[in-house]
Amino acid sequence: LFIDWFNFKIILGKNGVPVAENFRLEQSTIADTIQVGQVRVRTLYLSVDPYMRCRMNEDTGSDYLLPWQLSEVADGGGIGVVEESKQDNLVKGDFVTSFNWPWQTVAILDGSLLQKLDPQLVSGRLSYFLGAAGITGLTALLGIKEKGHVAVGANQTMVVSGAAGACGSLAGQIGRLEGCSRVVGIAGTDEKCSILVQEMGFDAAINYKKGDVAKQLRELCPGGVDVYFDNVGGDISDTVISQMNENSHIILCGQISQYNKDVPYPPPLPPDIEKIRKERNITRERFLVLNYMDKQEASVLQLCQWIQEGKLKVR
């Protein structure tokens, strides 16, 4: 084994809530030679995302996510640079990414499962491939295209919950780019709300921790809500759904307020809200971006173009 004193890995030590005590930092050893088809990579970026909370349960509650295993290295979206390659299409110095990147500084991976990245598409900002030009941006763009039914000239109002998050902040901007005439965000601090309006181009933003959210929504969305990009679920979503128009659409991106609860995904709505949804023919269909990977390449190019043109702001 090749011992690199600067090679570490992060291990899941205990299932439960995401606190430091449930993880361990351990020294990592890897083989000193690689096999045909393998590459040795050095990790540059890891993406830590809300869905990972589900992977800390013995049952993730999802049919497409596997739980992290106790005493095994954690994994998720990552980017690294190739240090040695025995995979035909990858050479030393290439930047690569994977949705199942191990949380360790150096790793030996199956080269066929890695995707090569072109840094020029993001003006050298490689981390964007884990955010605005990666799964996060794809979730926002494809969610709106596939489940939002946004149409130019239809005078639609979009509301985004969790609007200052990685996905929500992009979703509001993309809603506008795709044709929504009004975009309102919901976030948890005045600073976040200010950023949404002043930097991200939202028409307005509501601090849900202050004042009456339902009253503010009625004032800011006088024509009702046509598209709701839902990142949070719970009480906030119930409030938004109660003000949605007939034949409107919920983009079911996430339910972060429910992730520490033992409920199915998507969580059922309260009976009075479900009644409103049915009476008004509001769509609320599960959305999974991994089901649309045939549209990944074209969508990433669109996201990169918007970023380079300054139409999509990234923090």
Instruction: Verify that 186 and 287 share a domain, yes or no.
Output: yes
Residues 190 and 75 in one domain: no
174 and 268 inside one domain: yes
pLDDT digits (tens, 9 = 90+) for 160-182: 999 999 999 999 999 999 999 99
Residue 123 lies in a domain: no
Give yes or no: residues 31 and 153 share one domain. no
Residue 166's pLDDT is: 93
**Greater pLDDT, 97 or 60:** 97
Mean pLDDT is lowest, of 2-6, 117-121, 151-155, for 2-6
Query: Which amino acid makes up residue 181?
Result: S
User: What average pLDDT does range 233-248 have in this prediction?
Assistant: 96
Shared domain for 28 and 176, answered yes or no, is no
Which residue, of 54, 85, 117, is where some domain finishes? 117
pLDDT of residue 1: 44
Tell which residue, 230, 226, 249, has the closest CA to residue 148: 249
> Quick one: 177 and 304 in the same domain?
yes
Query: What's the chain's average pLDDT?
Result: 92
184: which 2 tokens? 């309102």
Co-location of 20 and 69 in the same domain: yes
Domain identity same for 218 and 298:
yes
Lowest-pLDDT range of 18-32, 62-76, 91-105: 62-76
What is the layout of strands, in order, in the sheet containing 157-161?
A: 204-207, 182-187, 157-161, 225-230, 244-252, 283-286
Number of neighbouring beta carbons within 10 Å of residue 93 = 9
The half-sphere exposure of 251 on its side-chain side, counting CA atoms within 13 A, is 30
**Which CATH number does the domain housing residue 282 bear?**
3.40.50.720
Domain check: are 212 and 67 in the same one?
no
SS3 string of the chain? Answer: CEEEEEEEEEEECCCCCCCHHHEEEEEEEECCCCCCCEEEEEEEEECCCHHHHHHHCCCCCCCCCCCCCCCCECEEEEEEEEEEECCCCCCCCCEEEEEEEECECEEEEEHHHCEECCHHHHCCCHHHHHCCCCHHHHHHHHHHHHHHCCCCCCCCEEEEECCCCHHHHHHHHHHHHHCCCEEEEEECCHHHHHHHHHCCCCCEEEECCCCCHHHHHHHHCCCCEEEEEECCCHHHHHHHHCCEEEEEEEEECCCHHHCCCCCCCCCCCCHHHHHHHHHCCCEEEECCHHHHHHHHHHHHHHHHHHHHCCCCCCC
**Residue at a domain's end among 117, 147, 178:** 117
CATH number of the CATH domain containing 30:
3.90.180.10
Question: Are residues 250 and 165 both part of a single domain?
Answer: yes
Q: What is the pLDDT of residues 255-277, one digit of tens each?
A: 776 655 666 667 889 999 999 99
> Looking at the structure, do residues 149 and 15 belong to the same domain, yes or no?
no
Q: 276 and 144, same structural domain?
A: yes
Give how many domains the chain has, as a whole number: 2
Q: Give the structural domain span for 49.
A: 5-117
**Interval 60-87 mean pLDDT:** 88
Q: What percent of the chain has pLDDT over 90?
A: 74
Q: Is residue 273 part of a domain?
A: yes
Residue at a domain's end among 117, 143, 162 = 117
* This prediction's pTM: 0.87
Percent of the chain with pLDDT over 70: 94
